[in-house]
Chain A
Amino acid sequence: MFVAVEMVDTVRIPPWNFQRQFNEAIAEELNKKLANKVVYQVGLCICLYDITKLEDSYIFPGDGASHTKVHFRYVVFHPFLDEILVGKIKYCSQEGVHVSLGFFDDIVIPPESLQQPAKFDEAEQVWVWEYETDEGAHDLYMDQGEDIRFRITDEVFLDTSPTGPSAAATNTPAAPGAEEGGQKKEAPYTLLGTISEPGLGLLSWWNS
């Protein structure tokens, strides 16, 4: 689930932090920059693992802060393909079942990867597995808050860096709630999963 990724970055320590332990100041700056953020093509950064190398610090004209090139390793959430994970169902929609891990929310299990046959109950907004046995069909509901075991099938990274003023006439609402203004917030890192294998799906289905 987690990987230690080696990274290199130049860290700026402002002068008012010069009295602190150097390593602590570096660690704090790195965590401030990367914790809980998605790095494109890498994953969700959790926290600093360790600092491997500190190069010389420089002070540039016009800026009183020190700049240091730091080699470090960062704990990143980046499950590998086919890994099994357990999460909670956040909600169901036409796009599939949305699963959350608490610290990471953008996991979707599309309808074709559900245990077949499956149907979407519009009234209750849940996906249902129509499980057939000799006695008849059981409807197994995928309710909100249930623990679910799934396998990772794909990951999608989206570059959400700002693109600059767009030429098309887009409304730029003054209020921070931008969803109504026609701008959709894209998740920078989405995971796709499947539960169409024996043992996958709600934990309650398989714990006799």
Chain B
Amino acid sequence: MLSNYEVYQLLTDLKEQRKDSGKNKHSAGQQNLNTIMYETLKYLSKTPCSRQNPETVKNFLTTMVPHKLTKAEKLQLLNHRPETAVEIQLMVEESEERLSEEQIEELIQKVTDVLPGDPEQEGATPSNETEMEEGIDQ
């Protein structure tokens, strides 16, 4: 299984490579590749994976170790960066039996801390973390 971040990275690298080599990417045979690359990059750039890098992914997986989630569940959390308990319940199977309410809150906190969020969204509604940081600076 591949995470959205890995595919996003692969496609961006491929795009750079093809930009440099220049000549034949407009030939009829390459049109399919161009189309699928463009559309997939367009879709992925609007998801949390566009703000991830190898360290954040590694940190995320390390912080997820104590929660004993399946590979598929961790992948979904990585790809979607859920911010509410409802989303966690959708992605983690049988979450009512496996996770208490505090554990769900803890999970949300870890996910939003480790994975970078949408700067536009966070500019509008400042979270506790950014307010605390501003307090330290002042």
List chain A positions with a Cβ less than 8 A from chain B: 1-4, 28, 31-32, 35-37, 46-47, 49, 75, 80, 82-84, 86, 101-103, 149, 151, 197-200, 206
Contact = CB atoms under 8 A, between A and B. Distances in A.
A33 to B, nearest CB: 9
Contacts of A3: 1-2
Given A3-B1, A198-B86, A206-B86, A36 B36 contact: yes
Top 9 closest A-B pairs, CB basis? Answer: A103-B39, A36-B36, A199-B86, A36-B32, A35-B33, A32-B29, A102-B43, A2-B2, A103-B40
A86 B40 CA distance: 13
Contact of A47 (B14, B76, B79): B14
Given A2-B7, A47-B11, A75-B2, A102 B32 contact: no
Given A36-B32, A80-B1, 8 more contacts: A1-B79, A2-B4, A46-B7, A47-B14, A84-B91, A103-B39, A103-B43, A198-B86
B41 to A, nearest CB: 9
Interface string B84-117: 1011011101000000000000000000000000
Given A46-B7, A47-B11, A75-B7, A103 B90 contact: no
A102 B39 contact: yes
A37 B31 CA distance: 12
B72 interface: yes
B2 A4 contact: yes
Contacts of A83: 72, 76
Given A31-B33, A46-B36, A75-B7, A84 B90 contact: yes
Contacts of B64: none
Contacts of A80: 1, 72
B10 interface: yes
Contacts of A200: 90
Residue among B32, B47, B86 with the highest chain A CB neighbour number at 10 A = B32
Contacts of A49: 2, 10
Interface in B62-77: 72, 76
B127 interface: no
A35 B84 contact: no
B42 interface: yes
Interface in B103-135: none
Contacts of A103: 36, 39-40, 42-43
B37 interface: yes
Given A46-B40, A75-B2, A102-B39, A151 B90 contact: yes
A49 B9 CA distance: 11
A47 B10 contact: yes
Contacts of B33: 31-32, 35-36, 47
A16 B124 CA distance: 57
17 contacts: A2-B3, A31-B30, A32-B30, A36-B32, A47-B14, A47-B36, A80-B1, A82-B93, A83-B72, A84-B76, A101-B43, A102-B43, A103-B36, A103-B40, A103-B43, A198-B89, A199-B86
